[in-house]
Amino acid sequence: MSQEGEQEHSDRKKYEFRKVIEDLKDYDGSGTQLVTIYIPDDRQISDVVQHVTQEHSEAANIKSKQTRTAVQDALTSIKDRLRYFDTFPPDNGIVLFSGAVDSGGGRTDMVTKVLESPPQPIESFRYHCDSDFLTEPLEEMLADKGLFGLIVLDRREANVGWLKGKRIEPVKSASSLVPGKQRKGGQSAQRFARLRLEAIDNFYQEVAGMANDLFVPRRHELDGILVGGPSPTKDEFLDGDYLHHELQDSVLDKFDVAYTDESGLKDLVDNAEDALADAEVMKDKKVMEEFFKELNAGDLATYGFEPTRRNLVMGSVDRLLISEDLRKDVITYDCPECDTTEREVVDRRKSTPTHTCTECGTDVEGTEENREDAIDHLIDIAEQRGTETKFISTDFEKGEQLLNAFGGFAGLLRYSTGV
Ligand SMILES: [Zn+2]
C-alpha cells in the first residue's frame, strides 16, 4: 500500500473508532459492571485470558447478584472474543469493552466491542471495571494528529526522534569529537582553528545523516521538523544546508533548548507548542483554501451530499473532503411506482423518515436495511474510483464552514462536470 493509502486507511479507521467510542460513552452500567481492557501488542493473549479468568473468580465475591452476574457475563464474553486472536495481539494492541448496558424500560443488553490496532501503540495493560467504559486513552490517541521529526544538537551532542501525536520517541543520538576552544601547547592557532571547524562540519554531517536516515523514508507523512539547540549551533546547522533538501524544506522552525540529551527533545516540543498547533491543521487549511478558491473563481469544486456523490460515481473527484465532526446517515429510497432511486441524509440519532418520491409523489417508507453511515457510503465509492479522502478538522474557520455551510461533504474535482 502506498503511504498516502495508509494515511487514508488510518483516517477511515480513526473515524470508525470515534463512532464506536461515541456509542460506548452513551452507555451507563447500572452498577460497577462495565469492563474495559487495554492490551499492548507485546502481551501474550494467554496471559490476558488468565487475568480475565482470575477476575471472573474474584467477581464471585460481589454481593449484589445482579452486578455479579453482569460482571461475570462481561468477562465470559471477553474471553470468547480473545479466542479469535493468535499468541499476540495485532500491531498496537487491542481494546475490549464489554458489559450490561441500560437499554431503557428497566432492561439491560450485553454489549461487547473489540477495537484492533488503534492509531498508536497501547503502552500498558489496563483492566478497568466501573460504571463507565474507559475510553479516554483511546480518545487521546484519536485527538492526536501529526508526525513530526525532532532534532536537538549542540557541538558536543545530538539527539533525533519522533513526535507522534503527543508521544516523544527518542531514536538515535551522537556525540562529537569536536575539541574545546582551548588549544594544546605547541599547536598553531590557525591549524587548531581549521581542525576545529572541520570537526564541527563533520559532526553536523553526522547529525544530518542520522536525521536523513530516519526521516527521509517517511518524508511524505511528515508534518514538519523541529530543530532545537543553543545559538549559534542550530543556526549553523540549518544555514549550512546539511539536511536532505526535502527535509530542509519541512523545517517548521528552530527553538532554543538548554539540553541536547533526550530531555532536550521534550524541551523542544514544549517550546514549539504554538508552531505544532498550527502545523496540525496546516494541511487541512491548505486544502480548504484550494476548495474556496475553486468555489469563488474556478469550476473544480462541488459540495453537498448528492452533488458530491454524483461526481464521485463519475470518477471526477480528485479529493473527497469530509468534516471530521460530521455524523450523518444516508437512507436510499427505491420508489415502487416509478423505480426512481433517491436518497436522504439524516442525523445519526434521528429515526428513519418516510420519503415522498419527487418524480411521482408516492410516499416511500424508509427501512433500516437501506440506511447506512453517509461517510462510509461515500468513502466506499471513493475507494472504488481511486479518490483520496481527507477528513477536515473543525478547529479553524474554513473547516467549521465545511461542516455548517456545506453540509460536511465537498470535493475537489479533476475536471469540470457541471454537476
Ligand atoms: Zn416514484
Tens of pLDDT along 223-236? 899 999 998 899 99
Band (144; pLDDT cuts 50, 70, 90): low
Residue that wins the pLDDT comparison between 182 and 340: 340
Let me know if residue 277 belongs to a domain.
no
Let me know if residue 419 belongs to a domain.
no
365 CA → ligand 1 middle, Å: 12
pLDDT at 128 over 60: yes
- Same structural domain for residues 166 and 229? yes
Q: C-alpha grid cell for residue 71? A: 460482571
DSSP secondary structure letters along 161-185: EEEETTEEEEEEEEE-----SSPPT
pLDDT tens-digit series, residues 155-206: 999 999 999 877 899 999 999 877 777 776 777 888 888 988 999 999 999 9
Residue 33's pLDDT is: 85
pLDDT tens-digit series, residues 19-40: 999 888 888 766 668 999 999 9
- Same structural domain for residues 11 and 136? yes
Domain housing 197: 147-271
Q: In terms of Cα–Cα distance, which of 82, 171, 168 is closest to 120?
A: 168
Residue 102's pLDDT is: 81
Let me know if residue 418 belongs to a domain.
no
Residue 27's pLDDT is: 81
333 CA → ligand 1 middle, Å: 10
Let me know if residue 221 belongs to a domain.
yes
Residue 166's pLDDT is: 77
pLDDT tens-digit series, residues 264-276: 999 999 999 888 8
Output the domain CATH number for residue 387.
Answer: 3.30.1330.30
Band (9; pLDDT cuts 50, 70, 90): low
366 CA → ligand 1 middle, Å: 14
Let me know if residue 90 belongs to a domain.
yes
335 CA → ligand 1 middle, Å: 5
| Average pLDDT of the residues in 241-260 | 94
- 93, 47 Cβ separation under 8 angstroms: no
Let me know if residue 176 belongs to a domain.
yes
Q: Which amino acid, one-letter code, is at 96?
A: L
170 CA → ligand 1 middle, Å: 63
306 CA → ligand 1 middle, Å: 18
Let me know if residue 152 belongs to a domain.
yes
Band (243; pLDDT cuts 50, 70, 90): very high
CB-neighbour burial class of residue 110 (10 A; exposed 0-12, middle 13-18, buried 19+): middle
pLDDT tens-digit series, residues 368-378: 999 999 999 99
| Average pLDDT of the residues in 227-252 | 94
68 CA → ligand 1 middle, Å: 55
- Same structural domain for residues 344 and 316? yes
Sheet hosting strand 341-347, strand order edge to edge: 341-347, 328-334, 371-373
- Same structural domain for residues 236 and 176? yes
What percentage of residues in the chain have a pLDDT greater than 70? 95
Output the domain CATH number for residue 84.
Answer: 3.30.960.10
- 345, 330 Cβ separation under 8 angstroms: yes
- Same structural domain for residues 218 and 301? no
279 CA → ligand 1 middle, Å: 49
384 CA → ligand 1 middle, Å: 29
The last residue of one of the domains, among 128, 143, 158, is: 143
338 CA → ligand 1 middle, Å: 4
Residue 3's pLDDT is: 43
- Same structural domain for residues 197 and 111? no
- Same structural domain for residues 405 and 330? yes
- Give the span between the Cα atoms of 393 and 283, in whole angstroms: 10
Looking from the CA of 23 toward its CB, the CA atoms found within 13 Å total 15
Residues in the chain, total: 419
- Same structural domain for residues 159 and 245? yes
Number of domains in the chain: 3
What percentage of residues in the chain have a pLDDT greater than 90? 71
pLDDT at 82 over 80: yes
| Average pLDDT of the residues in 297-315 | 96
407 CA → ligand 1 middle, Å: 26
312 CA → ligand 1 middle, Å: 24
The last residue of one of the domains, among 99, 115, 143, is: 143
- Same structural domain for residues 162 and 137? no
Residue that wins the pLDDT comparison between 142 and 150: 150
Give the number of other CB atoms < 10 A from CB of residue 12: 18
pLDDT at 152 over 60: yes
373 CA → ligand 1 middle, Å: 24
371 CA → ligand 1 middle, Å: 19
Q: Helix, strand, or coil here: 404?
A: helix
362 CA → ligand 1 middle, Å: 5
Note residues around ion ligand 1 (Cβ under 5 angstroms). 335, 337-338, 340, 357, 359-360, 362
Q: What is the DSSP letter of 299?
A: S
Q: C-alpha grid cell for residue 76? A: 465470559
- Same structural domain for residues 375 and 408? yes
354 CA → ligand 1 middle, Å: 13
CB-neighbour burial class of residue 249 (10 A; exposed 0-12, middle 13-18, buried 19+): exposed
- Same structural domain for residues 94 and 225? no
Let me know if residue 276 belongs to a domain.
no
- Same structural domain for residues 154 and 214? yes
The last residue of one of the domains, among 90, 108, 143, is: 143
Residues contacting residue 234 through CB under 8 Å, at least 6 positions apart: 153, 227, 228, 254, 255
Output the domain CATH number for residue 263.
Answer: 3.30.420.60
